[in-house]
Amino acid sequence: MRSPDAAAWRRLFAKERRELASSRAWIVLLVVLGPLVGHAFITAVDSYAEVSGAGGGPAALAQGVSPLDGIVIPVFGAYAIAGILLFPFVAIRLVASEKQSGALKLLLQAPVSLGTMLFVKLFVLVAAWVLAWMPGLVALALWSGYGGHLAAPEVLGVLLGHLLRVTLVCSVAIAAASFTDNAATAAVVTLAITLGTWALDFIAQVRGGFALTLDAYTPESALRTFETGEIRLAIVLVTLVIAAAALLLAAVWLHPGRRGRARVAWTMAIVAGAALLTWAAALPRLSWDVSEDRRNSFSHADDRALSAIHAPLEVTVYLAPEDPRLADLERGVLRKLRRTLPRVDVEYAARGSGLFARPGEHSGEVWYALGTKRAMNRSTTEPIVLETVYGLAGITPPTNTAEAAYSGYPLAARPVGAALIFYLLWPLVALAIWFWTRRPRRSTSRPQVTRP
């Protein structure tokens, strides 16, 4: 089969764009996003104003008032719901409709491979999702108009997390549509996979151990990482590997020339290759802290001191997963150590969990090993943990670690005009655009008359 030219790519892209624009599931999603985002934005602005001391109430410490936590994350939290529960149905329709109508067999005769067709579908879906960000971006623009502060790196980090998340979700939905005979079954399979990731997230929080390691790459946990202002290269690579594997599986099961054993053999090969690539993609430790308050980093003085440590740090944690000290240790210290040191191996060795769990011999202890030296303490606070690490490395702790504190951005604003925009104007605009795209197009060329 010859390689597709630019015209074939354009025609394929135009076809997928028209099918998506005419989809009722797509317009329903666009209409629903307005009220969802509007409610999230109005609630977030009111809560932000209350924390900032609106109405004469007590104001919180300015350092704790962050637009990232107070505005950006709640507003795009509406997209987290729509992206996992609504948008997969839009992706499923693009594949299931072609299978049921028989159009797929005709498309395979075009000078474009099946893999290329699936890639274009995914590209159109992701581009449509970016277009669906319009209500959220309008909300952020309104916040800026009220006088609110926004840090561009933080916002872009959250958007990147949502973009990767929907890329993975759409790839899984396309694969589910290729395995099944109709859209309803594909929707059930996609929902089952979603519930499975939620179950893994719950098990990881309760049991810890290997489940906690896997949970770091589920859509929910990965998005939470980006929402804290941290961009991890491993999460980006693992997400892209899984999405590519899902598209390859879809290409295998949609191809009419492969049946029975051939499909099973290709599926096993793709799963094995994806598992190996996923393991390799999870190895890089590189990450970036894009949060304005440097919540994922130590002080600059501590970063310079820790950069002299080249040996791997081994941490053995005897804290139950439901112990709040474990969350403090993970969020306040271990996450920063992973970003700073070349290698940090953490083992969660708590015995059991729940009401009938027995406390182990080392319950509540955290052991640190660097080379041949080991030390233990029960504290989960940053200064004491750093002091322990410095002692193991034989490094004198820096004396001047004080830095300018995060100022925070309190603002007692009101969501003026937000209800009108999101509850009325946006649904009307979305419906108007949908009806305009579905209207029949008139040909502008005049018919040619052939004279005898």
Give residue-wise pLDDT tens across range 315-343: 888 887 777 888 888 888 888 888 888 88
- pLDDT (0 to 100) of residue 444: 47
| 226-228-230 Cα angle (round to 5) | 55
Residue 158 predicted with pLDDT over 50: yes
Strand ranges (DSSP E) for 247-363?
287-289, 313-317, 344-348
**369 vs 4, more confident:** 369
Question: Closest Cα partner for 231 from 185, 298, 163?
Answer: 163
Residue range 161-170: mean pLDDT, rounded: 94
**136 vs 14, more confident:** 136
Cβ(91)–Cβ(246) below 8 Å: no
Contacts of 275 (CB under 8 A, 6+ apart): none
Residue range 241-261: mean pLDDT, rounded: 86
- pLDDT (0 to 100) of residue 11: 79
Question: Closest Cα partner for 267 from 294, 249, 280?
Answer: 249
Contacts of 107 (CB under 8 A, 6+ apart): 98, 117
Residue 448 predicted with pLDDT over 90: no
Strand 344-348 to strand 313-317: parallel, antiparallel, or no bridges (unpaired)?
parallel
- pLDDT (0 to 100) of residue 356: 40
Residue range 106-117: mean pLDDT, rounded: 73
pLDDT level of residue 449 (50, 70, 90 thresholds): very low
- pLDDT (0 to 100) of residue 269: 93
| 390-396-402 Cα angle (round to 5) | 90
Residue 218 predicted with pLDDT over 80: yes
Question: Closest Cα partner for 86 from 193, 170, 160, 189?
Answer: 170
Domain boundaries, the chain: 14-288+416-437, 300-393
Residue range 350-357: mean pLDDT, rounded: 50
Residue 160 predicted with pLDDT over 90: yes
Model pLDDT for residues 360-399, shown as the tens digit of each residue: 667 788 889 988 889 888 888 888 988 988 888 888 888 7
Q: Which CATH architecture has domain 300-393?
A: 3-Layer(aba) Sandwich (3.40)
- Across 299-303, 321-325, 406-410, 442-446, least confident range: 442-446
- pLDDT (0 to 100) of residue 259: 74
pLDDT level of residue 143 (50, 70, 90 thresholds): very high
Mean of pLDDT over the chain = 83
- pLDDT (0 to 100) of residue 74: 94
- Across 4-13, 321-330, 419-428, least confident range: 4-13
Question: Closest Cα partner for 238 from 272, 284, 198?
Answer: 284
Residue 63 predicted with pLDDT over 70: no
Question: From the CB of residue 153, how many other CB atoms can be counted at a distance below 10 Å?
Answer: 15
Residue range 425-435: mean pLDDT, rounded: 86
Residue range 197-224: mean pLDDT, rounded: 80
Percent of the chain with pLDDT over 70: 85
pLDDT level of residue 4 (50, 70, 90 thresholds): low
Model pLDDT for residues 14-48, shown as the tens digit of each residue: 888 888 887 888 888 899 999 999 999 999 999 98
Residue range 170-179: mean pLDDT, rounded: 90
pLDDT level of residue 171 (50, 70, 90 thresholds): very high
Contacts of 125 (CB under 8 A, 6+ apart): 20, 87, 90, 91, 94, 166, 170
- pLDDT (0 to 100) of residue 357: 46
Residues 135, 86: Cα–Cα separation, whole Å? 16
Strand ranges (DSSP E) for 197-306?
230-232, 287-289
- Residue 346's beta-bridge partner residues? 315
